[in-house]
Amino acid sequence: MIKQLLLITFTFCSLSAFAKIDKLPEEFSDFSLNRDIKVSYEDLDALLEITVLDMGMSDRSSRKSQSSIGTRMKSHKNNDTALEANRFLFESVSQSEIKDGFHKIRISLEKLPDEVSLNELSLDEQLAYWLNLYNTAMVEKLIEHYPIRDTEDLLFGDDSILEEEFLTVAGYKLSLNDIQQKIVFEKFGKKKPIVMYGFYQGNIGSPNLRNEAYKGSKVYHQLVDNGEEFVNSNRGMQIKRKNRLYVSKYYEQAKPLFDDFEADLREHLEDYAEGSMKSDVKYAKRFEVDIEDWSITDLYGTERSFGATASTNPAAMLNAVVSNSAAPVASDGSSSGMGAVNINFINDSIMMRTMNFGRFSPEMLEKIKKLNLKRQDNSGSVEIKDLDSNN
């Protein structure tokens, strides 16, 4: 009998350890008003800083010719969006052990609830956590499938990486879609649709991958920055013939965030549009979800043509790295930073930091310890006694 009970208990625990998420469990739905506990992402910051090229705000310019700044650059079929979106050094990273850093950070983030329950974190800290986990896992999967040029089948095909349940958080098996749709959109997005700009999906047509991790202390500022960049780019929305509004197909993923999709999205776009685009959005007579660009944001995954004046700003940075410069040109024209050619030189230090990194400082760990002890004291125990039959 004891063996049977043990077997049943073991089976139950095994199943619960790999439970699927149908609705938000308490571990994900609750939150704390205490903002003392802050999660650190210094390791992720270090990786993103050296692997992501921030291309700045779009000027809505289109590619004018098929000429290339380097023989390794490939042509791009969408001239309107070819010059947009941050770039990731997929080729260099995929050939370096740095790729293991994203895997190790992803595993580390999955284990965070072992140190402190997610519902003990504030809402902002939770949001930053889910966005960092999603984007780190997304980059890991893209590196795993590299080299690729078009991400559409990878994201939405029969073997979609968005549907693959390869993440485990607090005993729940999760897919990337679970994090986006069932957790972040459900918990945070109903009142703040700006959260949709936190999900990088590897292609030019998606929101940017930032060159820094999301932080609880400034997560909404970071999201607004991403949102403003996306809306005011050709891949976010375009006005044609002054009365036709075309928007990105990425917004189809965000439909659950808008009660009236067209009207509410149009209002959202008007809020974030700059200059004359505000009135153009408001008075456009036609609304079409039509813009798409599935080209991977690999530095060498698209062609860019800069012309004779391309000596500063993001264009110069890109040109310097493509030319294997050890000191790319900064936005002010000076030499600074680290080119792709140097990526292996910092591999050992990055990997060591990743392996030894903790999400909490010693002071923060002490707070968590006291919090756990307080919870144990408050939980107490419940003793069930038989009621007297005379009562």
pLDDT attached to residue 81: 94
pLDDT attached to residue 22: 81
The pLDDT tens digits of the residues spanning 291-342 come to 999 999 998 754 433 333 333 344 344 344 444 433 443 444 443 333 333 4
pLDDT attached to residue 72: 47
Q: Strands 237-240 and 167-169, how do they pair?
A: unpaired
Q: Does residue 272 belong to any structural domain of this protein?
A: no
More confident residue, 209 or 60: 209
Q: CA-CA distance, 234 to 105, in Å (whole number)?
A: 33
Q: Does residue 83 belong to any structural domain of this protein?
A: yes
- Virtual CA dihedral for 111, 116, 118, 122, nearest 10 degrees? -130
242: closest CA among 185, 190, 286, 192?
Answer: 286
Q: Containing domain of residue 299, as a range?
A: 19-235+293-303+334-374
Q: Does residue 322 belong to any structural domain of this protein?
A: no
Q: Does residue 12 belong to any structural domain of this protein?
A: no
Q: Does residue 165 belong to any structural domain of this protein?
A: yes
The pLDDT tens digits of the residues spanning 337-374 come to 333 334 444 555 555 555 556 788 777 778 787 777 77
- Mean pLDDT, the chain, rounded, equals 80
Region 152-161 average pLDDT: 96
Q: Does residue 219 belong to any structural domain of this protein?
A: yes
Q: Does residue 241 belong to any structural domain of this protein?
A: no
pTM of model > 0.85: no
288: closest CA among 234, 340, 344, 249?
Answer: 249
In the chain the first and final C-alpha atoms are separated, in Å, by: 35
The pLDDT tens digits of the residues spanning 235-269 come to 999 998 878 999 999 999 999 999 999 999 999 99
Domain count across the chain: 1
Is the pLDDT at 16 greater than 70? The verdict is: no
Q: Does residue 103 belong to any structural domain of this protein?
A: yes
